[in-house]
Amino acid sequence: MIIVTGAAGFIGSALLGHLQHLGYGELVAVDDFSHAEKAPNLEGKSLLHRIERSEFLAWLPTQAHKVQFIFHIGARTKTNEFDEQVLQSLNVDYSKSIWAVCVEHSIPLIYASSAATYGDGAEGFSDDPALLTQLKPLNPYGSSKHRFDLWVMEQQAAGTVPPFWAGFKFFNVFGPNEYHKGRMASVVFHAFNQWRDTGLVTLFKSHRSDYADGAQERDFIYVKDVLSVLTHFFVNRKNSGLYNLGTGECRTFLDLVRAVFGALDAPEKLSYIDMPLDIRDRYQYHTQANMQRLQEAGYRVPFTPLEVAVADYVQGYLQSHRYL
């Protein structure tokens, strides 16, 4: 069995579809399946089991001898979530429990971390483990992911690890299967829908003098590239560690929206609005993954150029509401 947590979500459901396309069977989906808006993400997926998130930790030890691999993608991912107890329970304690079973039963594990752990980027974007303690996340979500990363490093130092493990700090992932995400969906998704509904796209104003409106920068990565990296480590199972998962190149939100207009062959019509107060003081103005360690670990496939990725997403999925 191959288990994917967060299986009804954006990256988890895309990963299930990718594994199925590659011919892998006995796929197990773990999630809170009560959210009807996520149900289309799993349509067409051939699943051996669907396990409720609340039941998974009791179920897993009884089936561990059958498990080939676990992709722990599930988390509380809202960057505007301020309930520390929820974040500690779902993003830290739950992950520790999965890790413990993987150690006890020698199950290889990949888990999702986040670029939100880097905070404002003042300490850079290097995934060198020696620099991990210097990071200062800007929001409780990033802090919860950072706490688990730090705990994993402690486990590694103590030798209490699965036979293979890898954590990936996802940067700004966009692509098919994010229809359900609402406010937390990518700017590509929102730009397409705004253009479709109004013919106009809005971006956040900058609230820093050193960044023009629309010039805020992100390391945008297409979900298909994320799946390629995860599959590489799943197949090879070498070089355990914590890695960045971006492209190594930052682009502006204005670049991103212009790529959407280009994919639509539509004239550029833009306006700028104030950034919501609940995220303004915790907003990252620049992210750019240092990809050296991933390359040294053996992954050297070129990442999809932004304009190509946006065109594939808009023309191949958003315009026809297709899923991956």
Q: Which two tokens stand for residue 151?
A: 């705990």
Q: Which two tokens stand for residue 208?
A: 């820093």
- Per the residue annotation, which of 94, 111, 118, 141 is the catalytic one? 141
What are the φ and ψ backbone dihedral angles of 98, each rounded to 5 degrees?
-65, -45
What are the CA-CA distances from residue 98 to residues 42, 54, 65, 120, 158 (Å)?
23, 13, 14, 30, 17
How far the first Cα of the chain sits from its last, in Å, is: 21
Q: Which two tokens stand for residue 247?
A: 């492209």
SS3 of residue 303 by DSSP: coil
Q: Please identify which residue in the block is written with the tokens 């413990």.
A: 100
- Per the residue annotation, which of 24, 78, 181, 285 is the catalytic one? 181
What are the CA-CA distances from residue 236 to residues 233, 240, 298 (Å)?
5, 10, 9
Beta-carbon count within 10 A of 271 CB: 12
What are the φ and ψ backbone dihedral angles of 298, each rounded to 5 degrees?
115, 0
SS3 of residue 197 by DSSP: helix
Q: Residue 181 catalytic?
A: yes
Closest Cα to residue 129, out of 145, 150, 109? 150
Exposure b/e, 192-204, CB count within 10 A at least 16 = b: bebbeeeeebebb
Provide, for the chain, the percentages of residues in helix, strand and coil under a 3-state DSSP scheme, each rounded to the nearest 5.
45, 15, 40
- Residue 311 near residue 137, CB atoms below 8 Å: no
Q: Residue 317 catalytic?
A: no
What are the φ and ψ backbone dihedral angles of 2, each rounded to 5 degrees?
-115, 125
> Catalytic residue positions?
141, 181
